[in-house]
Amino acid sequence: MTVTPEMNALLERQRAYFASDEHIKQRVAIWADTSVAERFSYLGSEVVDSMTPEAVERLHRIRSSLPEDTIEILASLRRSR
């Protein structure tokens, strides 16, 4: 495979974008109107989705230690998918 100057230029633009504040601002813009609790709840649901069934089972065993409002936010996010 031959690497062309155009390919190098494209890679450099991508590297610069992903290293920039603009990339970060775009990634967090969706959270501008959400509460901290909603942000953590969404993150939690993403983590649970990536867990093994055994890990989810362990998580359910400790669920009772979570505040009720957090559980409700997580459930709401799960239903909205």
Per-residue pLDDT of 21-59, as tens digits, reads 887 888 888 888 888 888 888 878 888 888 888 888 887
> Which string of DSSP letters, residue by residue, matches the chain?
-PPPHHHHHHHHHHHHHHTSHHHHHHHHGGGTTS-HHHHHHHHHHHHHHTS-HHHHHHHHHHGGGS-HHHHHHHHHHHHT-
Please report, for the chain, the start and end positions of each structural domain, with discontinuous segments joined by +: 1-32, 34-81
Residues 37/74, Cβ–Cβ less than 8 Å: no
Q: Judge if pTM exceeds 0.85.
A: no
